[in-house]
Structure 1
């Protein structure tokens, strides 16, 4: 079957229907979800709170916001929670009404979608392959014209796994402040970064009023089904406006309690960081042996973007080979500025990573393969 449709990491039902593989038997390297599964403490403690669904959650979610504040080192008054990061992106755009947004990409498509729903236009600041998809700071400043009112940055970025340091982010905020541009930073993957405390822009929210940071529990805490996201912003007037647009109780009682539990599970957090760091280094070392066939871009998140250098091999070919073995990688040809020579996969458990690498490297001639 020729694979023409582009599948998201959550499209397991579609995969099941098209390829005849039960979704329970698919290992998704496309979803970028923590391979350890849900928090240890959450698995043990959440069932004890089942009776919480008999009452409404706290409308202000005070305990949840305090737990998040303790986790990220910020006062809970600077935090707003939402039904996943998607609701928060929507709330930001509903309140800012951006007429023209600049999105650093290739990146997640939902930003452009939400901006368009508010009647705004999106333009892309392109990250270039010949610069390894790193941010060219000066070129970005040249693109920040006065008619732009919103800058959108995913950091670390999906799908490139590149990241921006906090000093550079501060420079960006200074330039945006001068031109009246608001900055939305999506930090969905920052907790996977090798030195996340030095990368996160959360401390900058205490200095600048033109930044909001989005985070969630779908990826790092492996709980996309709970639909819990949060945003950090020092601009309290904006937070108040966002709250006024929200429907009440968009987070259910169990999700709120789950958040309080998982953000305090230090053993799980450390185990996750250790596993991802170890596998990231190991997989890069393996791919280094095949530089004439594949080029990867230094990853900072829990996934890696790879470019195919062989003329006859394409990302959809690799997708089909992998999915027939119950392994789902991401064909990146649907991302802006990428084509069918790019694919992405996240770091799972070592034995699963080895299975996927066997598929990826299978097309390499035997003489070029090393142990």
Structure 2
């Protein structure tokens, strides 16, 4: 047999799935690893899909998706974020945000083009870039800067080979956000460079502090921006596998060509569910968001009290604590935490080289589970203290 594609062969499997699989193989594990809402899809959304099937809507839709859904998506972006797109020419419904990421890089990148990636970053970006023949160029995001992208770092990363930048705010894994005032500093650089901006906005509705801002809201660079979003996180619809792309008509027509050949069209029943979600599901989203914020506050307070420095995430349902005080690497911390206390988290290195010294903890689990997990993490951190330190603490308590 002839050899398979070397790019695929040398690619590492997802670091998230590794710990998810380990956790599933053990009894009594509290999983804080997977990035999935613990809420079920609201019934009225599921029922819309059922009714569509009962009505016989079980055939292909248009390649770009149902026009009713594209209209709802564009109305949603207009009403929520003051960004306008033409549903007929500038909207494309995809199989999850993951397909949208893949489409962007397949369409934009020529072999050897550079793509700026923020590090830490979501695990799917780098492989998608490499599979498309691109070259990732990394910008380190720091805890001291609240994991924001700065103009200085952006300028330093740009070269003649730079084709685009991959943004994800609110960020998985850091929970960092970029407000309008942050983007205003970057817009002149984007405008001058002419690079494409791929903006993954899947956690837009899970912004806790301030208003969510899309780079597409700046008219001078809007045609450079490709917006990715979907229904998985905001509406607890991970299993429905439905996302979308918004961008200028010329690029959208090229994206649609790739989509036609690899997908044809997104699942029909899921599209009808999504129409219901955008029409009547935002109240459900708001309730879920309130609960995520309650959990976030508990988790961050507990982690900081343990001595694990943790920035309070302004979005998403992830915390990204610094675990260097334990003396363990990210991987050692997660392996031992799982083995000794049966709590699953993901090492920061799953999200890039600069994730070393951090772990990602998802608080998309029940408040009760989170309290118990915090107790177990605290016990684990306490067990790592040197005997001398324990003795000193005991003496202080006695006094």
Q: Which TM-score bucket, shorter chain as reference?
A: 0.7 to 0.9
Aligned-partner SS, 1:146: coil
- Residue 95 of structure 1 is matched in structure 2 by 107
Structure 2, unmatched stretches of 5+, are: 1-12, 79-83, 383-389, 395-399
Equivalent-residue separation in structure 2 for 1:339 and 1:308 (angstroms): 11
1:115 equivalent in alignment to 2:129: yes
Query: Deviations 1:25-63 (Å, cap 9, x if unpaired)?
Result: 765422222232212422444333333464323444211
1:356 paired residue among 366, 370, 373: 373
**347-356 or 328-337, which deviates more:** 328-337
**Structure 2 residue matching 1:135: 3-state secondary structure:** coil
Aligned mate of 1:56, from 47, 56, 60: 60
- Secondary structure (helix, strand or coil) at the match of 2:40 reads coil
The gaps in structure 1 that reach 5 residues or longer are none
Greater Cα shift, 359-368 or 104-113: 359-368
Task: Show CA shifts across 1:172-197 (max 9, x none).
Answer: 23312212211111112222111574
Q: 1:41 to 1:322 in 2, by over 3 A?
A: farther
Corresponding residue number in structure 1 for 2:298 = 282
Q: Which residue of 2 aligns with 1:245?
A: 258
1:305 to 2:309 alignment: no
| Whole-angstrom distance in 2 between the partners of 1:157 and 1:340 | 17
Check the 8 A contact 1:173/1:183 in 2, yes or no: no
Structure 1 residue 346 and structure 2 residue 362: aligned? Answer: yes
Please point out which of 235, 241, 264 is paired with 1:227: 241
- Measure how far apart 1:79 and its partner are: 2.0
| Distance (whole Å) between structure 2 residues aligned to residue 246 and residue 263 of structure 1 | 23
Residues 247-268 of structure 1, C-alpha deviations (whole Å, 9 max, x = no match)? 2533111111121122231321
Structure-2 separation of matches of 1:162 and 1:176: 20
- The Cα of 1:345 is off from its aligned counterpart by 1.1
Sort the Cα spacing of 1:173 and 1:126 in 2 relative to 1 into closer, same or farther, 3 A: same
Residue matched to 1:71: 76
Matched position secondary structure for 1:307:
coil
Contact 1:160 1:304 in 2 (8 A): yes
- After TM superposition, the structure 1 = structure 2 runs for residues 103-252 of structure 1, keeping only pairs within 5 Å, are 103-195=117-209, 197-204=211-218, 208-233=222-247, 235-247=248-260, 249-252=264-267
Provide the residue aligned with 1:263 in structure 2: 278
Structure 1 position 361, deviation (Å): 0.8
Larger mean Cα displacement after TM superposition, 131-140 or 59-68? 131-140
The verdict on how the C-alpha distance between 1:340 and 1:151 changes in structure 2, with shifts beyond 3 A counting, is closer
Count of residues in Structure 1 that have an aligned counterpart in Structure 2 = 357
Please list, as runs of the form range in 1=range in 2, the aligned pairs for 1:36-47 lying within 5 A after superposition: 36-47=39-50
SS in 2 for 1:104: strand
Picking from 49, 72, 83, the partner of 2:95 is 83
Higher mean alpha-carbon deviation, 113-122 vs 53-62, is at: 53-62
1:8 matched residue in structure 2 = 16
Task: Report Cα offsets for 1:5-39 as digits up to 9, x if no partner.
Answer: 974259745643xx344xxx765422222232212
Distance 2:114 2:229 in 1: 23
CA contact (8 A) 1:91 1:242 kept: yes
Query: Hey, which of these two has a bigger chunk of helix by percent?
Result: 2
